[in-house]
Structure 1
Amino acid sequence: MWQDIQQNFDISNTEGMRRKMLSVLATRWRDFKTFLTREYVFGERQNETPCLKYQITDEEWMQFRATRLDPSWQAKRIAAQERQAKNDAPHLLSRGGYERKKKEMKKARAEAAGVESADRVESPPRHEMWIAARTKSDGQMTSESARVVADKIEGLVEQSTQGSFVSDGRNDILTTAIGRPEHAGRVRGVGGSWSHRDFFGARSSRSSTVDSCSQEAMQRMKMQFEEKLKNIREEFEQKFELLARSQQQTAVAHDGVRVSTKGSCATPDPSRE
């Protein structure tokens, strides 16, 4: 597949470009299969055939249709629909997705700044694209949940300018505002063509386990502190007990001494004089 792409398009032969292009193709292929399923298997065109229009053989179409009508696939479809129904912050993106939205935002920024080419304008951060994808034409958000996240984003942006909030890799403004980590295999707010590695960079093994390591370190420190505190308490109790015994022995010794109350000199006997 990659060789075919290089033969037909002038694309640099790098590992990053290869991954990105294959990811785009996979997304487009998945979208096309979703379209066929929605329109020609379960939709209004289920009595029609897409073979002639999309250059599909009758055998390929029958096999594809059979997989979609299989009970196991139907169960997966229902599960996916249920997950989508739980999406409380739906976007309004068209077929172009986030890539098209980014181009629109860059073009608008270029015009506002008086810059001739949108390519000279910096791409908007993904938290801005996330908000733009969920903003209606009247300025309202698509849902209450989307509005809450947008308000949190606004607050975090303000904190970021003041230096009280610092983005750290995947824990950026959008992730913090949503309150949930990134989904496996895709990055929110940028489109399906971006992988975690491409967008955030390679994640070190240390950073992937930093939370668990920190918790373990804190637990060890707590146990060590409690052990030292216990030893200090026991040592103090021993010293206090020894001091108490010493004071008690001193008191007993003092009580055993009998001091005479008589004078040191005897009174002379008058008869002897």
Structure 2
Amino acid sequence: MVKVRADKIDEVTKAVEDGTLRTSGSNDILTIALETPEYSGCVRGVGTGISHKMYFKTPRCKTQSSQQQMMQTHLEQQSLHIEELNKKFNLIASLLTPDQLSKMQELVQSNVVQSNHISEKASCTAKKEKKMKHLLRK
């Protein structure tokens, strides 16, 4: 019986080292090998009244930091997207005459002001694109 458990511990340890198995927190190598899950509320071998958080000193607001990290990643992605849009706008602006550029800016500003009242349906979008093309041809 002991040899079987020792072999299982070696097998699980090798799987973790190879990267085919992940362990975290109370789901460690020994818990997996012995097939005895840890229960919340107490830590084996340290007495009563000692919780996992107290013994292992894990941070209390782990989810808040992961949310902040997700928000930071989203903010960085949005910043990169804005930079790309600015580059595209500058390229288009360099190809337009000053008169066409001013008409385009007026059109964009009027669309921003009216954006709360414009439907997001495809037909409205097509009409806006036709209007923009018509103004650029002038």
TM-score, with normalisation over the residues of structure 2? 0.40
Larger fraction in helix: 2
| Structure index of larger Rg | 1
